[in-house]
Amino acid sequence: MKPNDPLREALKNVRSVEPSPELEARLMRALVDAERHENAANQERRRRRSSWVSHLRLSLPALASVAIAAHLVVLDAGGEDAFVEHRIDLPDVGHAALSLPLSLDEHDSEFASVRMALPHGIRVSPASQALSTSEPTCHSAGCVYEFLHPTTAEAPPVEVHVDKPGMYRVEVEHASDSKRLREIIVVHASR
């Protein structure tokens, strides 16, 4: 560039120009906004991280439950279901009662948790010593009964009442702290 070049003069003039107070104010506001945005983003990251940790803390009991259930399934996977068939004659009017020879005495505890899946046409009548844990849950295929039943040899057996002729598959699971058993009972009812 030449000493009297107009470009050189223009650059020299630009270098001597001071920023306006409005420009300085806009730059300061932009810096404050950028810092505020960065702080908000950092706070959001900390909140998400603490939220994740609290969710993990809340999820630990659920994970423990799943691990226990998986452990029970693995322990139970090797055993076969007990299978028993019964034949029963129904009276002309009313129902017939059938005592189920469940293996409740194999449990070490005083009570076993019993879950019975019964098709329609047959219903359970737990012994008077049994403690009902809920009302039966019924659906299109039948009803599910849950109750605690004594495991002593003196305890009366679980009894089912059959209302009409047919073949009924009764699925029973009973569990205690030490054991979990599954039994399948097929009832053939005729008049």
Q: What is the CATH number of the domain that holds 127?
A: 2.60.40
For residue 3, being part of any structural domain is answered with no
* Number of domains composing the chain: 2
Give the range of the structural domain holding residue 185, as residue numbers without chain letter: 82-190
Per-residue pLDDT reduced to its tens digit, 145-184: 888 888 888 888 888 999 899 999 999 999 988 888 999 9
> Rounded to an integer, what distance in angstroms lies between the CA atom of residue 119 and that of residue 169?
7
- Same domain, yes or no, for 89 and 169? yes
- Same domain, yes or no, for 185 and 103? yes
Domain boundary among 22, 56, 75: 75
Q: pLDDT value at position 78?
A: 44
- Same domain, yes or no, for 106 and 41? no
Cβ(58)–Cβ(164) under 8 Å? no
Q: pLDDT value at position 182?
A: 92
- Same domain, yes or no, for 64 and 88? no
> Rounded to an integer, what distance in angstroms lies between the CA atom of residue 160 and that of residue 179?
24
For residue 56, being part of any structural domain is answered with yes
Q: What is the percentage of the chain residues whose pLDDT exceeds 70? A: 79
Q: Is the predicted pLDDT of residue 28 greater than 80, yes or no?
A: yes
- Same domain, yes or no, for 95 and 181? yes
Per-residue pLDDT reduced to its tens digit, 73-112: 554 444 456 788 999 999 988 899 998 888 888 888 888 8
Cβ(47)–Cβ(40) under 8 Å? no
User: 19: burial class by Cβ within 10 Å (0-12, 13-18, 19+)?
Assistant: exposed
- Same domain, yes or no, for 25 and 47? yes
For residue 104, being part of any structural domain is answered with yes
Short-list 175, 176, 174, CA closest to 184: 174
Per-residue pLDDT reduced to its tens digit, 61-75: 666 666 666 655 554
The pTM of this model reads: 0.54
- Same domain, yes or no, for 131 and 70? no
> Rounded to an integer, what distance in angstroms lies between the CA atom of residue 41 and that of residue 65?
36
- Same domain, yes or no, for 94 and 39? no
